[in-house]
Amino acid sequence: MFTFSDLKGRIVIVTGGATGIGEAFVRAFVEQSAVVHFCDVNTEAGRRLADELGERAVFAPVDVTREDDLRAWIQAAGAVNGRIYALVNNVAFDQRIPFDDVSMDDWDRLMAVNLRAAFICVQEVVKFMGDGKGGSIINLGSCAFHTGQPDHLSVYISAKGGQLGMTRELARELGPRNIRVNLLSPGWTMTDRQLRDYVTEETQQFLKQVQCLGEPLLPAEIANVAMFLASNASRAITGQNILADKGWAHH
């Protein structure tokens, strides 16, 4: 495991942290001895993970589309010691809907999860990164924004494009406050959900062909990049889109 000593004892916020890549983020930050406040709508999985990891993993059942609840949760986490070190805007929902069937209710609902919630989180978190102390904000993109996908993901990918624009603008606006903002864009990551619902022998062969590195991309590998971006080891990096996709988007 890589060690980033400046994360020890720091408060970190992770949205959508009960399963998948979010779970890998929570585990990695706890391994770095950070105190991780994470939320999810999957209450059972969130509580199970918190029980397993102990006092450094603090779970709250929060629906990120409910603005007041989301803001109140971050305020409570920041009130612990008045300081939040890093935010990982991980929560996402990649529902597949054919383009012709997308309703505006679908659009609003998916944008609320995949883009709007991230902006709300940034607004609240920066209140606890003030007085020049600064911090790191990591938004989650997707290599699918760069490659395009024939998988009925038009709304999801539109939101991920919005994450890129938001990241670059907020890096500029928040730079004077010593706050860094970066986008972490994973490739096709082998989470339990992806393996269960979408990954087949054919798709595994496809990935070997389109990725520069043919082996499967694992959640823990994405988490390693997030640890670097959260820590002072990356203090020269802001406003960037970090593609962690084993070379898919560059193929």
Active site residue 198: no
User: Which entry of 156, 174, 219, 221 is annotated as an active-site residue?
Assistant: 156
87, 121, 129 from 132: Cα distances, Å = 17, 19, 7
**Calpha distance 133→102 (Å, rounded):** 43
Of the candidates 73, 95, 77, the residue with the CA atom closest to the CA atom of residue 85: 77
Provide the 3-class DSSP secondary structure of residue 51: helix
Sign of the alpha-carbon torsion through 240, 249, 115, 197 = negative
Catalytic residue annotation: 156
